[in-house]
Amino acid sequence: MNERISLDVHAHLAPIFLDALTKIKGVSWNAADRVLTVDGHEVGMKPLFDPEALVAWMEKNGVEMAWISIPPPLYRPELLNEDARDWVLYVNAGLQRISQNHPGHFSPLFHLPLQSPQLALEVAQHWIAKGHRRFGAPSGGCDLVLSDPAYAPLWQALDGAKAFVFFHPGECADGRLKAFYLSNLVGNPYESAVAMSHLVLGGVIERHPGIRFCFAHGGGALPILAGRLERGFDTKRPGIATGGKSPKELLRHICVDCIMHDEAALELAESVFSPSNVIFGSDWPFPMGVVEPHDQMKNIDQNRRQRIFCDNPDRLKKEHQQ
């Protein structure tokens, strides 16, 4: 029998509700081929549109709960004003409907459109007022950085609610990464490291200890760079404030998922973020994830696997009950 997996913090679904989707600009649904076209880009991974497929995968693998978020092709960071508002209202209502249709299986991570700090604040306030405090957000893909003062009201609202925020990379702007699938293989870890560095060095984490920041893919490239950030802090490099906690101290307030594909990398992530802050994430249904957890992690140390599958997710669920 497979080991129990208490929680998957990193599972994607794309809401398809035609009564509302047909009113959204730039998006169309091909029901015959089950393809969603978003701003000219075809999203054709069919399990994304099939909540029942995710339920079946969870039952097969002993996953008790999934916190679901929209996939990166649906982030649409170029949208502003009413177009952005219409889209985020649609995807968040869709995530809620999917979760309501599958009670006990899913809980939504409501999307924060970070390209518009004011709209992201309104979204956060709306759902917090309804008793929700779990959100998803892109860690890159727009011109603003997470240390920008424009986000201060958003962080304050999330801090006051003791919110959980799951950050996932968006589109990497580095044109050199177009070859060899590097936009994913290298760009995703890079975007997460940049985002986390801004949260740490910009003082966001220190000022807002009530927010539970969580990052995809084991924190990306950040674990290997933690010592470098610490050295910059210790040697007072230009622009780095040194009056507060050090980067290594602050990084231990962040949790990350387990998608590293290497036990040595997992061990490094545990040493940076703490063993209690590495939790299970699958990235379902994408092949770069841990979509066969019991096979892909069968050679991981049993105690580490127990922490990732059960102990740490159990603790996180208790902290963020709604």
Domain around 118:
8-319
Q: Is the dihedral of CA 167, 138, 204, 154 positive or negative?
A: negative
| Dist CA 15 CA 73 (whole Å) | 12
Helix (H) or strand (E) holding 272: helix 263-273
**Could you give the dihedral angle defined by the CA atoms of residues 234, 223, 273 and 210, in that order, rounded to the nearest 10 degrees?**
80
pLDDT digits (tens, 9 = 90+) for 210-260: 999 999 999 999 999 999 999 999 999 998 888 889 999 999 999 999 999
Q: Alpha carbon of 175 to those of 171, 179, 181, 182, 221: distances in Å?
A: 11, 9, 12, 10, 19
| Dist CA 43 CA 46 (whole Å) | 8
φ, ψ of residue 27 to 5 degrees: the values are -135, 135
pLDDT digits (tens, 9 = 90+) for 25-56: 999 999 999 999 999 999 989 999 999 999 99
Cβ(128)–Cβ(111) under 8 Å?
no
| Dist CA 134 CA 147 (whole Å) | 21
Cβ(9)–Cβ(166) under 8 Å?
yes
Model confidence at 142: pLDDT above 80: no
| Dist CA 202 CA 149 (whole Å) | 9
Cβ(284)–Cβ(54) under 8 Å?
yes
Q: Is residue 3 part of a domain?
A: no
Task: Name the band, by pLDDT with cuts 50, 70 and 90, for residue 283.
Answer: very high
Q: Is residue 286 part of a domain?
A: yes
- The token pair that represents 42 in the structure block: 């075809």
- The token pair that represents 196 in the structure block: 């986390």
Q: Is residue 1 part of a domain?
A: no
Q: Is residue 99 part of a domain?
A: yes
Task: Name the band, by pLDDT with cuts 50, 70 and 90, for residue 1.
Answer: low
Q: What is the largest CA-CA distance in the chain?
A: 60
Model confidence at 322: pLDDT above 70: no
The DSSP secondary structure of 222-257, one letter per residue, reads HHHHHHHHHHHHHTT-TT---SS--HHHHHTT-EEE
**Could you give the dihedral angle defined by the CA atoms of residues 36, 42, 47 and 51, in that order, rounded to the nearest 10 degrees?**
-30
Q: Is residue 2 part of a domain?
A: no
Q: Is residue 269 part of a domain?
A: yes
CATH number, domain of 155, equals 3.20.20.140
Cβ(285)–Cβ(12) under 8 Å?
yes
Q: Is residue 223 part of a domain?
A: yes
144: burial class by Cβ within 10 Å (0-12, 13-18, 19+)? middle
pLDDT digits (tens, 9 = 90+) for 184-216: 899 899 999 999 999 999 999 999 999 999 999
- The token pair that represents 25 in the structure block: 């600009």
- The token pair that represents 318 in the structure block: 């208790």
Task: Determine the average pLDDT of the residues in 255-278.
Answer: 96
| pTM (2 d.p.) | 0.96
Q: Is residue 140 part of a domain?
A: yes
Model confidence at 175: pLDDT above 90: no
Number of domains in the chain: 1
